Structure formats: structure tokens, C-alpha cells
Amino acid sequence: MIDIEKKVKEIEEKAIAEMSGAEGLDRLNEIRVAFLGKKGSLTAVLKSMKDVSPEDRPKVGKWVNDARFAIEEKMEATKQRLDALKLEKELAEEEIDVTLPGKMKFIGHRHPNTIALEEVERIFIGMGYEVIEGPEIEYDDYNFTKLNIPANHPAKDEQDTFYITKDILLRTQTSPVQARVMEKGKLPIRMISPGRVFRSDEVDATHSPSFHQIEGLVVDRNVTFADLKGTLDVFAKELFGPETKTKFRPHHFPFTEPSAEVDVSCFKCGGKGCRFCKGSGWIEILGCGMVHPHVLEMCGIDPEVYSGFAFGVGLERIALLKYEIDDMRLLYENDDRFLGQF
Ligand code: DAH
């Protein structure tokens, strides 16, 4: 009996001593298993109870319970000590010096093409136009035939087209969106359609195999050339300043009749003639005209009832003029020192 009491006391002291020296939660768990687990030393004493005489059993039970209680109490305290230690260590490792200068985040900004496009969109949205996009991969039919450019028309190779198959190509202009929108049959139409176009041109200061256009189309009853002139005059004044004058020069496009090219008075010299306008006082900015009755017809619109006008602007041309950039290649080189200026 005395032996059992001594043994229980020893187990308790040993457990408590081991916990005092424990340096991690893993070690603490090992100690718990060694003393209180199924095969633990304190559990073994309980198991040997069958050899104790029945009248002594309550005493032995009490010693074991007291020891278990003391061990559990120490275990809880040790766990708290080790948790705190662990947190302290983590905090020390993750220390941040808030007085150090922050890491610079590089934030890009809008490309001059995008800035110019947003300006053009703002102007036309202000006049009640919708912005509608069309596909870059297009049917020959939409890019040419429906725009009054028949199979053997010289304009077809003038534009040096990238063909994918005989009938499918990379669009050479945004004009096919005109046909796509008209075919939908929802009238009236007042839309612009910006997007990428492709021509197999050699790269130089004014050419690129891929560039951008903005198409415009209005179809309604009683639309006249005066509406076209008024609209593009407002556009030019908004884009280049209120002093800007416009000039409509007769031209030819297969899908408009009559057609014109539009010049704006040079916003650098006001029309007197300078290096910028090559001495002429005028700068060409776009092509336009009244939608050809045959084009309306092919798209299911009655030319006796409806008329319309269309125009096509080169986006890069606008960006180069507006920001006085003299080489188109700069727009595509992604040199941040250049792009960062706009
Ligand atoms: N698609 C023509 C081109 O790429 C530009 C153009 C001219 C569009 C006259 C038009 C237009 O809508 O009416 O050269």
C-alpha cells in the first residue's frame, strides 16, 4: 500500500518535471501519452487495482485521481506557456519594419490610341450614337461584296488582303460592320464601330499591317449630305478645337455615292501653312459619303424610304495628329518612356 502511494507520487513528480522542461507542443503530447495514455504509467496503476484489497481500493483510487488532477493542471499551464512561446517566435520572425520605404508598384496608363478612341467615342455618344463592335475575322462577302466591291473590283487587291480561306479574311476595314448592322433591320441607325483592321503593308512611319479604324453609320428617313457635313464639322471642332474648319473634297468609295474626303484646317498654324500640314494649311482626316442605294438594298433597306451617311476614320492618324507624333511605329513598340508622355 505504502509502495503504491509512493509510486503514484513519483509518477506525478516525474510528469511535472518533464513538463517543466518541455520545449514544444509535440513534446507535451508525448508526455501526456506516456503518463495518462492507455498504456501510460498512471493508467497502469489503475489497471493493477485488481490486486488491491477491496477496502483499500478507494484510497488508491483517490491517490491516482489526485495525481491525474495535478498532472492535468500542469499540462494546461504548460500548454499555455508553449502557445505563448510559439506566438512570440512567429511574431519575431514576421516582424515588419513599417519605417522602410514601400515597394513602388508600377502602374501603366492608357495608350495614346485608347485615349484618342475614348475622345472620339465621347463626341459621338454625345450626339446619340451607339458603339457597336464587329468581328476582326470576316467573310469576304461582308468585307467586299455587300459593300459594293464585286469579286473582280480593283479595290480588292488595292487593299492587299490577308486571306484565311477563299471566303474568310482578316477585315481590311471596319466598313463591314455597316452591312452587319443594317442587315439586323433595326432602324433608325446611329452607330460608330471602332476596331482593328489588317492589310499586308510593310511597316514604315505611316503604315502597319495592323491598325485601327472607327466606322460611322447613320440611316434614317430624310438623311442628307447636309447632315453628314454638319456632323463631321461638329466632330472636327470637338476633336481639334472650335476654330477648326472642314473641307469636303469629292472622292470615290464603292459603298458611298457621292463620296468625299474630309480635310481639317491645320490646328498648328490655323491654315496659314506650316511643316505640320506640309504648307497646305489642310490635313486630311477621313473618308465619307452617302450610303450607296445598292448597299442599302443588299442589306434589306428600301432606298426609296431611307437614306444614310457613313464615314471611316483612322484611329492612329487621329492619335498621331493630336499628340504630334511623327512616326506610327512608336505607337506599337511598347516603350514606356514614349507611352508615359500622354
Ligand atoms: N473603309 C474606307 C477605307 O478603309 C474608309 C471609309 C471611306 C469608310 C468612306 C466609310 C466611308 O464609311 O463612307 O479606306
By alpha-carbon position, which residue is closest to atom 5 of ligand 1? 312
CATH number of 112-339: 3.30.930.10
User: Which one has a higher pLDDT value, 56 or 294?
Assistant: 294
By alpha-carbon position, which residue is closest to atom 4 of ligand 1? 173
| C-beta 211 within 6 A of ligand 1 | no
Tell which residue, 240, 218, 230, 241, has the closest CA to residue 301. Answer: 218
Q: Which atom of ligand 1 is nearest to the CA of 147?
A: 1
What percentage of the chain has pLDDT greater than the value 70? 99
Per-residue confidence (pLDDT) for residue 159, from 0 to 100: 59
Per-residue confidence (pLDDT) for residue 95, from 0 to 100: 86
pTM: 0.72
| C-beta 263 within 6 A of ligand 1 | no
Q: Which three cell numbers stand for residue 99?
A: 519605417
Substitution candidate for ligand 1 out of 248, 311, 313, 315 with most atoms within 8 A of CB: 311
By alpha-carbon position, which residue is closest to atom 8 of ligand 1? 312
Tell which residue, 293, 306, 302, has the closest CA to residue 221. Answer: 306
pLDDT band at 275 (very low <50, low <70, confident <90, very high): confident
| C-beta 287 within 6 A of ligand 1 | yes
**Separation of CA 317 and ligand 1 centre (Å):** 14
Our CA angle for 338, 339, 340, nearest 5°, is 95
Substitution candidate for ligand 1 out of 160, 169, 171, 175 with most atoms within 8 A of CB: 175
Q: Which three cell numbers stand for residue 31?
A: 508526455
| C-beta 277 within 6 A of ligand 1 | no
217-250: burial string, b at 16+ Cβ within 10 Å, e else: bbbeeebeeebbbebbbebbbbbbeeebbbebee
pLDDT band at 97 (very low <50, low <70, confident <90, very high): confident
| C-beta 195 within 6 A of ligand 1 | no
Per-residue confidence (pLDDT) for residue 24, from 0 to 100: 87
